[in-house]
Amino acid sequence: MRHQGWDELFEELLGAVPEVAIIVEFNNRFAEKSTQLLRCIACLDPRNSFANFDINKLVELAQMYGADFSEYECRVLRDQLETFVTEARADTEFLRCIDLGQLAMKMVQTDRHTHFRLLYRLIELALILPDATATVERAFSAMSVVKTELRNKMND
């Protein structure tokens, strides 16, 4: 019985918080570089016929991974992106993709990962980002525990 009405209350609260406040909170929590990284990765979203596909932002994403993409590869990537999005929008197999994981699998199944190798590399990097971030956070957390233990021993 306690749960009755929660959905309505939640919807009311969401309506009361202006979208601008949410954006401000997002910007306060994340550094500009991290925010831009997420904006660029969102351009890989295959939903709605690749509606968010933005070639300039995807090239910018590749440039953020300077160790993985040379200047020359960024120029080639631009051409690959233009060709890929045209082909993908005309292919019902790709239009059925609803997330980045499915897009990557579809590229492998259709052998497009070899034709658009730079785009595929970009997708791989976007897919491993959450895991890499979590791993780094766990490492810093473990270092904090070790430092605290060492400090406690030093005080004894």
Residue 91 Rama label (left phi>0; alpha psi -120 to 50; beta): beta
Enter the tokens of residue 26: 């997002």
pLDDT tens digits, 93-134:
999 999 999 999 999 999 999 999 999 999 999 888 754 444
Question: What's the residue count for the chain?
Answer: 156
Q: Coil, strand, or helix at residue 46?
A: coil
Q: Is the pLDDT of residue 51 over 60?
A: yes
How much is the average pLDDT of 34-52?
87
Res 34: pLDDT: 74
Domain span holding position 13: 3-154
Identify whether the C-beta of residue 58 lies closer than 8 Å to the C-beta of residue 122.
Answer: yes
Are 53 and 59 in contact, with CB atoms under 8 Å apart? no
* The pLDDT of residue 136: 43
How many folded domains does the chain comprise?
1
